[in-house]
Chains A and B, each alone.
Chain A
Amino acid sequence: AQKVTQAQTEISVVEKEDVTLDCVYETRDTTYYLFWYKQPPSGELVFLIRRNSFDEQNEISGRYSWNFQKSTSSFNFTITASQVVDSAVYFCALSEGSKAAGNKLTFGGGTRVLVKP
């Protein structure tokens, strides 16, 4: 069964500090997909990134970067030079690629990030 764990429930930082969100996943499939979503105070879930299990290359998008390590089953997310607008709940999610799994999306519990001015 697939499982996603986000051990940090809440992180508070001062603007311009870097913040790293941890995500650990469990799966028996060799093909799977990892995602990060952002949920700002307005409530909608915004897609940030998707990573395939066969592509361990790290990715950077502006102030956001992601570190995927299959050896530790982790897919961590770093916000560099945080801003107040980054305040939100961030969810890590996993989708297994096997036919049995049906590509359903399983979410972690989320990490609330509070960026103070």
Chain B
Amino acid sequence: DARVTQTPRHKVTEMGQEVTMRCQPILGHNTVFWYRQTMMQGLELLAYFRNRAPLDDSGMPKDRFSAEMPDATLATLKIQPSEPRDSAVYFCASGLVIGAGATEAFFGQGTRLTVV
């Protein structure tokens, strides 16, 4: 049963610390998304990749957030330094895009981040 795997599931950290969230997309998917979910803002797109190359990271605060795909089986989202306002659930999703066609995106279970 193919699924997107995110680690850790929960993270509590102190303000100023570095946080790294990891995502293993579904094998064969060429598109990876990072979303953040908060009560106030809903689901916000932070960044996404196609064939490991960043397509759009305009939703991400550049001064503290960074997203990478070191290889096809791993996507990472880092926050350095973390702040209390970063507290949210971070979702990774993967999908397959061929030409102008798109499949549905499958989501991981999310990482619940609390910055104190």
Residues of A at under 8 Å CB distance from B? Answer: 31, 33, 35, 37, 43-47, 50, 91, 95, 97-99, 102-110
Contacts and interface: CB of A to CB of B under 8 A. Distances in A.
22 contacts: A31-B100, A37-B107, A43-B110, A43-B112, A44-B107, A44-B108, A44-B110, A45-B91, A45-B93, A47-B104, A47-B105, A95-B102, A97-B102, A99-B100, A102-B55, A103-B102, A104-B33, A104-B48, A104-B55, A107-B35, A107-B42, A107-B43
Interface residues of B, number: 27
Contacts, number: 55
Contacts of A44: 107-110
A108 to B, nearest CB: 8
Nearest to B59: A104
B97 A103 contact: yes
A104 B56 contact: yes
B45 interface: yes
Given A43-B89, A108-B42, 20 more contacts: A31-B100, A43-B109, A43-B112, A44-B107, A44-B109, A45-B93, A45-B107, A47-B105, A50-B104, A102-B50, A103-B95, A103-B97, A104-B33, A104-B48, A104-B56, A105-B33, A106-B45, A107-B35, A107-B42, A107-B43
